Structure 1
Amino acid sequence: MIVAEQGSGLTRRDWLGGAAATAGLLAIPGQAAARRLRPSDRVNVAVIGAGGMGAQNMAKLTSQNIVALADVDFDHVAKSFVDNKGVARPEMQPLKAAYDRAARFADYRRMFDARKDIDAVVIATPDHHHAIAAKQAMERGLHVYVQKPLTYTVREGRTLLEVARRNPKLVTQMGNQGHSGDDGRRVVEWIRAGVIGRVREVHVWTNRPLWPQGEARPAAVAAPSSLDWNLWLGPAPVDWGYHPDYAHFNWRGWVPFGVGSLGDMGAHLVDFPVWALEPGLPTRIETRHSRWGGDTDIWDGKPPADLGSYPLANITTYQFGRAKGGPLTMTWYDGGLMPPTPTAMPATARMNPDGGVLYVGDRGMLMHETYGEKPVLIGDGVAERAAAVPMSLPRILGGRDGHEMNWIRAIRGEEAISSPFSVAVPLTETMLLGMVALRADQPIEYDGDRITNVAEANQFLDREYRKGWAL
């Protein structure tokens, strides 16, 4: 039997400044014990954010007991079961039947208080709720599957990892499903085996945002009667009225609720170079960008005083001065921006504008799409070297589509977990440091604990919370 281990073997320079630095940030109460489950048991699962992505996750878990749902708008949840013409989607009807049997709550805090039969929770809310919901669940002894990005801030990630370390029997998973894919794992094996030689340069791009961004904040309108807007706002310390440009899908581009394209797709795309190259945390980060939403016609490049939406496009350059294989530069492009096509690119290969990663080594190049899929080997002898590399990473049953059930099997002690918080937190921290550099409006230098060259930028490692919603 394989039991997943979480949070072991990380050093200060690996990612966040060690236990001593973390302890000063945290005050963790006593923890509840998780119910011991056997391979033959069905797991009692609840979901927070039951529509949209939450419904996609839960549709993979109908073999388990879905016992409770928490959502601020069940009319929106119902749309998950029909197509855009209102016709029932056959593949979603088992989930609808499970949802119809489950207890319903608007406020997940009330769900935690009322239901003592929950073993595990899927959290698929907007980003600004992730850490609070996950911490409350873990403190009650519940296993957690948290959608990406794991947290809204660096401090929140550190907090969740500390809770996981104190509760090693809890199984944690971030929803970066590409981490479970066969292609992505093969990419990691090839990079680590040196099939393209030493990698000093990586380019990562996405077509996101696919939502309003770089725009001024719209005037508030009446919220749908089915939506509890106050609960949706939750910990966000703003008094914004409702607008469909925020909820339900469009929140990623608005500063109080999401962390933009890096938060959306970085957890997939940045995952593979961080995994394969083991660079540790970045030591220097700089973001160049288009204008912020709400900027006036006279633009100085700085964030407006009243932050609304993030810039439409960003280029973020990460320097990893402590990378395992030597200094590494990784450049992130979003808003439809892409790196130039390498001159050595075969005529048959194409850089997918939807998203991809290009690794530049001293013996060739490797390129793959968003979830590590469709890898392309470039250069003389690269394919031959790749063919000789043995498989060294375990494969996840079901691959990318098995990410949710990998979590269930790990809870039951059948399989090692794919993307636990010990993996997800430093990855998320790397992504979020790009957003910190954006907010700082200048290059930042990071020692694995604090920003050393722009003292005031350290405020962006944390955030304020609305009264009653503190982490």
Structure 2
Amino acid sequence: MDRISRRTMIGSAAAGAGMLAMPARAASRKLSPSDRVNIAVIGGGGMGATNMSKMTGENIVALADPDLGHVAKSFVVKKDGAIDPNRLLLKAAYDRTAKYADYRRMFDAQKDIDAVLIATPDHHHAVAARMAMERGLHVYVQKPLTYSVRESRGLLDLARRNPKLVTQMGNQGHSGDDGRRVIELIRGGVIGKVAEVQAWTNRPVWPQGVARPAAVAKPASLDWDVWLGPATVDWGYNPDYAHFNWRGWVPFGVGAIGDMGAHLIDFPIWALKPGLPTRVETRNTRWGGDTNPWDDKGPAELTSYPLASIVRYVFGNAPGGPLQLTWFDGGLMPETPRNMPAGASMKAEGGVLYIGERGMLMHETYGRNPVLIGDRLAERAAAIPQSLPRIRGGQGGHEMNWLRAIRGEEAISSPFENAAPLTETMLLGMAAMRAGQGIDYDGKAGRITNVADANVYLDRQYRKGWEF
């Protein structure tokens, strides 16, 4: 692998170097079950529109996106020439919103906001969330929660200092009935002590492992400077970045593990509570860069993440003894269990396999469709009672769970207290990949202890006016 000295440094400060200094104000108003929540949306196309479609019963008062022309395409009401009645409410909500290109301007102008939905590219998540929380606003942030480890720790610190703010990450499987049953079965000992977990995904399904393309003319509706936001690169626009393909490019996303780790790694971390990893090591294909990919000197600039990787986490402080979790992406998968039940298979899209003393448990992405692998495990499972509350609407009720929690109607499903350590774990895989060697991690201090120079990968630099 390439040495650290040949890698692009995203940040210059260690992740443990201070938390957020500015205290947040208390939420502007206390809401009762009969109140509607005034919501601002940051990032209105794609997933933002999907999230917004679950919230049309509330007051969506503002929307900020650097390409409102693109966003408008997400709110068309005709499908195959016919009007889709399910989108009429969404279109009506969109039409009523005050619209901004820059969410900083929205925060300055809008004083009627209670809560903020953030569905931007990864590099904006923490910056937008901090701005909202410091204004006393509840936040729903799409996964991954942040771009860097320091940002995850910073948002967790801010949430802890302001417990009246309701926070939620957009890992909707955390609210699903199947996923919650998985937690009950693992904790109930249906497969015995678990010392090994394997997780896999078919992502990336976007450009990755390639050099950056040449800049081209941007769409007239796109404010490219705002889209770049905190990113310090001066890359010109290319459709390989915006609007969907940003995940694989180093300045804007955190690759496959950032996209799907929150839907897969979430469950073993939730079930087994192993704490933060103590050791992380990776194997991966070549990074995308600006030099000949067969040049052994490596790329002068890391532009896109490797096409495929394996990340091995060791949780040395797990309460039940050391736990090893191995992540596969880019279409790589672990070995198929030999005693798989008839009709069951390892879905190429993604899944998790728990290897226990008495057998195995496997489920698909979002915790769906758990399968027990081993003798008489179904009988054992039937004896394990339900112990976790179920979320109204299940996986599809994740957004409304946030809004009901804001009104005090029910407990929040995936608050930053859970989401931030999960995101930190995911991002430590990226840090090890960037370091080019295994890293030892002190979770209490938030520092890599065996490769001092690698601590730079726990943080990043910010463009002026977009600091975290």
Q: TM-score, normalised by structure 2?
A: 0.94
Structure 1 position 187 matched with structure 2 position 189:
no
Which residue pairs with 2:450 in the alignment? 453
Mapped partners of 2:111, 2:90: distance in 1: 22
**Could you say what secondary structure the match of 1:436 adopts?**
helix
Which one of 286, 289, 294 corresponds to residue 298 of structure 1?
294
Deviation, 1:304, is: 2.3
Mapped partners of 2:431, 2:374: distance in 1: 37
**Could you say what secondary structure the match of 2:381 adopts?**
helix
String of CA shifts for 1:282-309, please: whole Å, max 9, x gaps: 1100110011112524354x86221111
Comparing 341-350 and 107-116, the one that deviates more: 341-350
Which residue pairs with 1:325 in the alignment? 320
**Could you say what secondary structure the match of 2:336 adopts?**
coil
How many residues were matched structurally? Answer: 450
Residue pairs, 1:48-127, within 5 angstroms: 48-82=42-76, 89-127=84-122
Residue pairs, 1:258-337, within 5 angstroms: 258-294=253-289, 296-300=292-296, 304-337=299-332
Mapped partners of 2:123, 2:382: distance in 1: 44
Contact in 2 for aligned 1:81/1:88 (Cα 8 Å): no
Deviation, 1:320, is: 0.7
Deviation, 1:84, is: 8.0
Structure 1 position 425 matched with structure 2 position 420:
yes
The 1:433/1:65 distance shift into structure 2, 3 A limit, reads same
Deviation, 1:130, is: 0.4
Structure 1 position 341 matched with structure 2 position 341:
no
The 1:29/1:22 distance shift into structure 2, 3 A limit, reads farther
Contact in 1 for aligned 2:174/2:180 (Cα 8 Å): yes
Mapped partners of 2:415, 2:175: distance in 1: 12
Residue pairs, 1:6-405, within 5 angstroms: 24-82=18-76, 89-294=84-289, 296-300=292-296, 304-405=299-400
Identity among equivalent pairs (%): 74
**Could you say what secondary structure the match of 1:34 adopts?**
coil
- Aligned alpha-carbon RMSD (Å): 1.5
Mapped partners of 2:33, 2:79: distance in 1: 39
Mapped partners of 2:141, 2:82: distance in 1: 30
Contact in 2 for aligned 1:127/1:258 (Cα 8 Å): yes
Deviation, 1:53, is: 0.3
Contact in 1 for aligned 2:233/2:251 (Cα 8 Å): yes
2:281 counterpart letter in structure 1: E
2:202 counterpart letter in structure 1: N
Which residue pairs with 1:468 in the alignment? 465
Gaps of 5+ in 1: 1-20
Contact in 2 for aligned 1:290/1:311 (Cα 8 Å): yes
Mapped partners of 1:421, 1:86: distance in 2: 42
Deviation, 1:90, is: 3.3
1:436 counterpart letter in structure 2: A
Mapped partners of 1:412, 1:303: distance in 2: 53
The 1:87/1:129 distance shift into structure 2, 3 A limit, reads farther
Deviation, 1:348, is: 2.1
Mapped partners of 1:194, 1:32: distance in 2: 42
1:62 counterpart letter in structure 2: T
